[in-house]
Homo-oligomer: A and B are copies of this chain.
């Protein structure tokens, strides 16, 4: 039950957005071991003045293809697992849609499983039973 909020500049093709979505999801499946069907993402496209990023701070150089990936996870993961996710995500995005790793920024936030609900809330206690 991670949820991912993506931010990038407006103007990419639907194929590009789909490739980004696929890569993010596959990296979560591979590194966080989430079920393949557990896919929930919102993509925000921004005009140039709406997406502000330093071109060189801690990495870069960043281009107009800058992609911010904000993951809200349903359970804690250790630093090693997060590192594996960052590397896997950078690798998959480089394959398709061809994003340079320098253009990737990731933030992971963690919540409790009780903080999630599908439908009318019955999914949360069900989820608690399956660790």
Contacts and interface: CB of A to CB of B under 8 A. Distances in A.
The bracket for how many chain A residues form the interface is 35 or more
A68 to B, nearest CB: 7
Give the number of times this chain occurs in the complex, counting copies. 3
Contacts of A46: 42-43
Contact of A40 (B68, B120, B126): B68
Nearest to A114: B79
Contact of A18 (B44, B49, B87, B118): B49
Interface of A: 1, 3, 7, 14, 17-18, 21, 25, 35, 37-46, 49-54, 56-60, 68, 70, 72, 79, 82-83, 85-87, 90-91, 101-102, 104-111, 114-127
A72 to B, nearest CB: 6
29 contacts: A3-B70, A7-B42, A21-B52, A35-B57, A38-B54, A39-B53, A40-B52, A40-B53, A41-B51, A42-B46, A42-B51, A42-B68, A45-B50, A57-B118, A59-B119, A59-B122, A70-B72, A82-B114, A83-B117, A87-B120, A90-B119, A91-B120, A104-B117, A104-B119, A105-B116, A105-B117, A105-B118, A106-B117, A107-B117
